[in-house]
Every structure is written in C-alpha cells, then in structure tokens.
Structure 1
Amino acid sequence: MIKYFLTLLILVSFLSCKNEIKKNDETISTELDNYINQVIENHDIPGLAVTIIQNNKTLYKDYFGNSTIDGKEQIKSSSIFPLYSTTKLITSVAVFQLIEQEKLNLNDTISKYLKNLPEQWNAIQIKHLLSHSSGLPDFVKYDSSLSDEEMIKKLAEDEMEFEMGYEYRYNQTNFWLLAQIIEKVTGETYEDFVINNQFNSNTNDVFDNKVTVSYYNRKKKKFEIPTYINGKRAHAANGINLSLKNMILWNSMLDNDQLLKPETKSLMWSSFNFKNEVDRFLFGWGITDVNDITSYGFSGGNISAFRKFPNHNTTIILLSNGYKIPAFDIIINDLARIVITELKDKNIGLEEYVITLINNKKYKEALYSFKKLKTENTQLDFFNLRFSVNTIGNIALNNDDFINALEAFKINAEVFPDWWVSYAGMAESYDKLNDTSNAVFNYKKAISLNKNSNSGYTIFMKDRIEKINK
C-alpha cells in the first residue's frame, strides 16, 4: 500500500511538473506572439520569420505576413531571405576555417595573397579587414558597374581614412578583399567555398531566389522595390540568401563544432584591440551588451539579424523582407529580455514599448520609458532605437505633421543630448512651423555637434540659417 502510494505520488508530481512546463511554454509563446504582432504593426513589416533557440532546443519559431507587398504569397518555411550584412558572419567563419587549417593567419598581411595593391594597403593585415579597422576607403561610393581593376584604381586615388587598427569604421571593401584572399588560398570561388564548407551542396539558392524586398519611400509615402545592384563584388559582405530552416541548420553546425573547433570559435569571438581604446568589435562579429548581458552577432539592412547570447545558451534569428521604421536590433534586444530568465525576472523594460508609446502620441510616457531603458542598460548606446524614433519624426515631417515630428525629435534630444541628428530634425520642424528663432538655434546646435562639417546636410543647414537671417 505504501509502495503504491509513493508510486502514485511520484506520478502525480511528474504530471504536475510536466503540465507546469507546458503551461510555461504556452505562456512564453503567447507573450512572444503578442510582442511580434505589435512589432509588425509598429514597423509595418511585410513578412517575417523568427526563431529562438535556447539550451539547444527550439523555444519558439513562427512565420508572419507575406513574401511580397501585394500579399499574394505567405511567408513559410521555404521562403528565402536576403541576409545582407548578416552575410559577414558566414564569411568570417569561412576565414576562420582557413585559419584552423593553417592556410591563413590573422597577422598575415593582405599583400601576402593579393598582388598589385596600392602601396599604402600592403601593411594591412587580415585582422584589420575582419574588425573593420583597416582605414580603407569604401567601394560603395563608386559606380558598381566598374570592373575590379577600375575599382581598385579609383580607391587607390583616395587617402586612407585613418591609421590601420585605430578605430572601427564599417566598410564593405574589407570583405571584398577577404573574398579575394579566400579564392586565392583555396583555388575555389568564394561562393563555392562557402557552400561546400558551410552548407550542403544542394543549397543552390544561397546566392539567388530570394523573397521580394520592399523599402518605404517617405517622400512618395509608399513601399518600393529597391533598384540598386550590389553585384558579385559584394557577395562576401551582403550577398547570401537563406531560408530560416537553413539558418537554423547553420547555427546548429556552429554550436556543435561542425564548422569550427571550440578554440577557433573562441579566437573568432575575442575582442580586437583598437588603438583608440574606445571601440568594441570581435573578428567579423559585433558585440552588444543587453542589460549587461553580452551577445555576439550582426544585422543586415535592418531586415535580418542573428545574435548569440553565449553565457545563456540562447540564439535569436530574424529574417524579413522590408520595413517602414527600422526595427531588427531593437527586436533582438527585446526578445532576449523576454526569454532570458535573468532579465525576465527583473521585469526589464522593452525598447519596442517606446515606439508603441510614440505611435500612440504618448510622448511623456515614451520619454520616461526611454530614460528608464538607458538607466537599465549602461553599455548599450541605443543607436537603433534612436534611429527608429528619428525615422518616426521624419515620416511625420513628410506627412506635414510638424507638431508630432517635433515631439519625436525632442525625445531623442533629451535622452541623448549630444546626438546632432535630433537637433537637425527639431530645427526642420520649427522651420516648417515658421518658428524661426528656434529653427536657427537648433540648426546651429546640430552643426556644432556634427563632426562632418562638409556633409551635404550640414551645408543645407548653414544655407537655411543664412536664408532665415536674411
């Protein structure tokens, strides 16, 4: 009888525990569904695929919306998305596979592999390309139809932007050169090396067949399909396209040491020592502290993002095909706050809540929430949230809604008083409202804070001051 009672007690306890786990899973899934649907509404995202992997298990995975703005086809597991700059993570793994095979070294100069480079480039090392600390001029400012030889010649005429290793400055030329080095060392094209070593050979859609990407044109007040062409030269920087299924598989292979050995991953995820002792970046991977919890990853074009929280065994992947207001780093940060127990238990504030409040014209509450977030996140610069708030202001400006545009810009200016962009937006708003004294004051404030005194927008602001004073 006692034995029967104990067995029954254990069974009841097991079922109770199992039901509690199931209940908790359903609760977190509902919370994530509600959050993501709010994000889609706030940012007008046409289609989205998202997954959260925790402790080597899929905690959450779902698909939302449509693959085109006409709504004819829904996002599904087979939908293939452009990664844009999230591609750089895959390129970095390719470089470290060659380092692991002792075919490359971080300290190798690029001139060891690439000949006929401009003389001022010869001392640059592979580590400088991976960490965006090379000081090279960026090829994106020139016509993409130029041949490789013509592009090198154009870039050679430019001065180096800074001393190599001094600072982080995002640059596509770095990854173009890395692709050339991979091809030189392996005898394969960059594309073939990546497919053969990181994906199964049947993944023939890695460089084509993607969903239609749409961006919101603020002036025309509608979504448009971008017409610019990056071309093969940009493949290593932003050219890979994947379904969520293949992205999950790639992450699993990375986690299970099938792509790189643990010690090689540790090297890849070690910090580059910038000479300015300010910037932070790993080798090909960004580093972000969300409420003082470290994560590694990157985002691309504000439509894709991949982030790992190594000390909490959590990976978050987002893929989409457009937006009205930039969102993705904000979403990654918030999803971490929802699913990582250490943050969840503290009832940490969400960045998306600020966007929701501004959209609902609750500016005082939005300002309070933004300030609270800044207090809770001592290491996060909130550039992406600032940029999203700024976009809300710019959309309002384009809709001749000058009062609400001004309110959005004011929030950024109060939380980040050294960011010149906020004052420029305020100045334009005051200008449109014919409040000339406040317009001039804020134009001057923006100019004084903007380090790039020769930018086109700075010239515009100076011109406006002159016209107003006349």
Structure 2
Amino acid sequence: MKKTLVLILTFVLSYNASIVSQTISNSVFDKTDKYVKEIMDTNGIIGLNYAILVDGVVVHKKQLGYANYEHKVPMTNDKLFAVASISKLFSSTALHKLLLEKNRSIDETIGSFLPERNDLPSSWLKLPLKQLLSHTSGIPDQIDYQVYLAPRDDNEVINAMKDKPFDFEPGKKSKYNATGFFLLRLVIEKLSGEDFETHMKKRYFEKFKLNSAEYGGFKKVVKNRVKSYRNVNGKLEMFPLSYSPTMYAAAGININLDDLTKWFQNLYNEKILPKETLDKIWTPVLLNNGKPGYFGLGWEAAEVGENINAVGHGGAGISSIRHFYGKGLKQNISVIFLSNGAKNWKVYPNSIGANIANIVMTELQ
C-alpha cells in the first residue's frame, strides 16, 4: 500500500509539473539559461545551481561551472551550498510554527519567553519578537563589533554586547541584525524544549526528507559541499563562511538545490504554516513613521511592482531565494539561485533572481 501511494503521489506531482510547464514555451528557459550564462561571465561566477518554480512547481533547473575551482570539479545538481543567511528563513518559520502551537504572539517580549534569563540586559528583554524578526529592534549588532557568527558560546555574545548602546530607537528603521537572531534561537529552544539543531533536524530536515541539510561552518567536513570563494583585493580566495551552533538561527545550513526547493514547496503548499500566517510573515513591518521597512517577520519583503510582492532572503551575497506573487501576476514565480562565489560581483544574486523571474513573467503576461 505504501509503495502504491508513493507511485500515485509521484504521478500527481509529475502531472502538475507537466500542466504548469505547458503554459510556458521552452524558449523562455533558453532565455533564462542564456541570461545566467552571460551573468556568469560578467561576474566571473565560479559555479551555480538555479531553479525556477511556477505556482510552487519546478519548471526548470540548471547547473553550471565548478564546485571546486582549483581542481576544476564540475558543478552537479546534488552539491551542497553554504546558504548563510538563507538559514534565517528556516529558523524564523520554525519560530512561527512554535508560536502557533503554543498559542503565543510575536507581540510578546523576549522577557516573557525567557523570564529566568537574568544574564540578558533588561533593555533586550523588553523587545518584542516582532522587532527582532523584522530587524527593527535597534539592538546592538554583534557584526558591527566584530563578534561574528562563530562565537564559542552564548556567554561570549552576551558579554561582548550587553553594554553596547542601541543603534537606534526600536521601530525607527530597518537595519540587518545578527544579535536579534541569537535571541530568537533562545526562544525557539525554550518553546520547543530542545536544543536548536536537534529541533530543526527532527521537525524539518527529517520530517520533510531534506536528506542533504546539515548545519556547520567551513571548518566542518560536510560531504559533497562546494568550496566557496570571494574576491579580496583583486584576488580570488576561499570564502571562510564560519558558523557555530550559537548562531545557527542566523546562518549555518548547508543544503542542495533540490532539498531547498522541497522545503520551499512544503511551505508554499501550507504543509508547515497556514496561508494567513504566511501572509503576515510576508508583509513588510511598518516603522514608527508608518512607512514599510525592508523586512516582514523574518523574510526580506517588499512591493516591487503594481500588485506584485517579493519575499525571500540573500545568503552571504552569493546566493538568493526570491518568491514573487500578487494580483499583478497571473502565476506566482519563485527563483532559487545558489552559487559558490564570484571573481567580481557586478550584479548580485537578489537582482539575478529578479531578472530571471522577469523573463518568465514576460512569457506569462
């Protein structure tokens, strides 16, 4: 019976993909491939995998370049990428799931979730989850003080940052912030009763069969992971994407294109969160002056056209996931663009994803 159900599901998914792809001529994918190859040459991108989804169904994917530049190892579809801050989409989604299960709110403060934490500054404990998720809290950002994403433990972050002044009045503006996701990790652990990595593995990696997904920085041996690169003073060198468990809510996932796509499809198809929750998460949070900030509740979010919205996140400036939706589109379009770096970024991944989506949008008008 189980085998029969799997066969039926496979047929249904294949049928749906066929129906969606029939609305798009193959020539549009020739155009997206041509654009990606041109942008690869322009930027000197080492290697990449990208996928296009229409209404949550994969209609095209491609791999180009090298997984390892110095040894000229070809890029393949099964290669893992260090997706850096794209990890925030996983952790923020997990937090929203726990809030629903525990009947808690984003408007509650850190202190209401962590009343026993007398090691955290009182000014931090007064912050609502909403401001941390939307990067509008003004809490001092550890990156600004060279406390990067691989601290030894929680105490290192707290001791280094507890006496630092806020960057701005909470709610005044949007400013990308890693310290906020350090605190959100503590809340996830408190609500789940598990350490963060265990919770994510059990509730997401294992449940949704994301078999490639694994936390770890560049020092960890991760099977089948690409080598990442960056340009420093005109020279190509290894990109040391260094992460430790303390900051895994902010960054640290290694994953291949198919599994990242599978996770997004489960989210899109409401297998993780209901639509009404996603709508809230994907709506830009308003600042104190009433204008929208740059983030929703854990996702970058913006209106990019008449009745067209874009949500997603970048990763270390070398990868991106972008989802375009709204009444201004006949069909929703998602682009996942994963790379292992470039010799000289002239067009960045967020823009590359938007340009790929625009080619598809033109076909669907």
TM-score bracket, normalised by the shorter chain, equals: 0.7 to 0.9
Equivalent residue runs for 1:3-402 within 5 Å: 25-114=25-114, 115-116=117-118, 117-140=120-143, 141-143=145-147, 144-145=150-151, 147-200=153-206, 203=211, 205-208=213-216, 209=222, 210-217=225-232, 219=233, 221-227=234-240, 229-278=242-291, 279-292=293-306, 293-311=308-326, 312-326=331-345, 327-341=348-362
Partners of 1:108 and 1:341 lie apart in 2 by 43
Decide whether aligned partners of structure 1 residues 231 and 56 sit closer, same or farther in structure 2, where only a CA change above 3 A counts: closer
Decide whether aligned partners of structure 1 residues 263 and 240 sit closer, same or farther in structure 2, where only a CA change above 3 A counts: same
Q: Which has the higher strand share?
A: 2
Residue 270 (structure 1) shift: 2.7
User: Is the 8 Å Cα contact of residues 136 and 174 (structure 1) preserved in structure 2?
Assistant: yes
SS at match of 1:67: strand
Decide whether aligned partners of structure 1 residues 162 and 28 sit closer, same or farther in structure 2, where only a CA change above 3 A counts: same
Q: Which has the larger radius of gyration?
A: 1
SS at match of 1:237: coil
Residue 315 (structure 1) shift: 1.0
User: Is the 8 Å Cα contact of residues 100 and 264 (structure 1) preserved in structure 2?
Assistant: no
Q: Which has the higher helix share?
A: 1
Percent identity between the aligned chains? 28
Partners of 2:95 and 2:358 lie apart in 1 by 32
User: Is the 8 Å Cα contact of residues 152 and 246 (structure 2) preserved in structure 1?
Assistant: no
Residue 320 (structure 1) shift: 0.8
- Alignment: residue pair count: 323
1:180-212 residue CA offsets vs partner (Å, 9 max, x unmatched): 110111111211222222222663642142311
SS at match of 2:206: coil
Q: TM-score, normalised by structure 1?
A: 0.65
* Corresponding residue number in structure 1 for 2:15: none
Residue 276 (structure 1) shift: 3.1
Write the letter of the residue equivalent to 1:282.
G
Residue 146 (structure 1) shift: 5.1
Partners of 1:235 and 1:103 lie apart in 2 by 25
Partners of 2:74 and 2:205 lie apart in 1 by 25
Decide whether aligned partners of structure 1 residues 315 and 157 sit closer, same or farther in structure 2, where only a CA change above 3 A counts: same
Residue 245 (structure 1) shift: 0.6
Partners of 1:163 and 1:100 lie apart in 2 by 29
Partners of 1:211 and 1:157 lie apart in 2 by 39
1:116-137 residue CA offsets vs partner (Å, 9 max, x unmatched): 2112212101111100111111
Q: TM-score, normalised by structure 2?
A: 0.82
Write the letter of the residue equivalent to 1:281.
F
Residue 288 (structure 1) shift: 3.4
User: Is the 8 Å Cα contact of residues 214 and 253 (structure 2) preserved in structure 1?
Assistant: yes
Gaps of 5+ in 2: 1-17, 217-221
Gaps of 5+ in 1: 1-17, 346-470
RMSD between superposed Cα atoms in Å: 2.2
Residue 240 (structure 1) shift: 1.0
1:332-375 residue CA offsets vs partner (Å, 9 max, x unmatched): 11112100137x76xxxxxxxxxxxxxxxxxxxxxxxxxxxxxx
Decide whether aligned partners of structure 1 residues 110 and 152 sit closer, same or farther in structure 2, where only a CA change above 3 A counts: same
User: Is the 8 Å Cα contact of residues 198 and 259 (structure 1) preserved in structure 2?
Assistant: no
SS at match of 2:263: helix
1:104-125 residue CA offsets vs partner (Å, 9 max, x unmatched): 3101110122312112212101
Partners of 1:68 and 1:240 lie apart in 2 by 19
User: Is the 8 Å Cα contact of residues 290 and 333 (structure 1) preserved in structure 2?
Assistant: no
Partners of 1:261 and 1:63 lie apart in 2 by 33
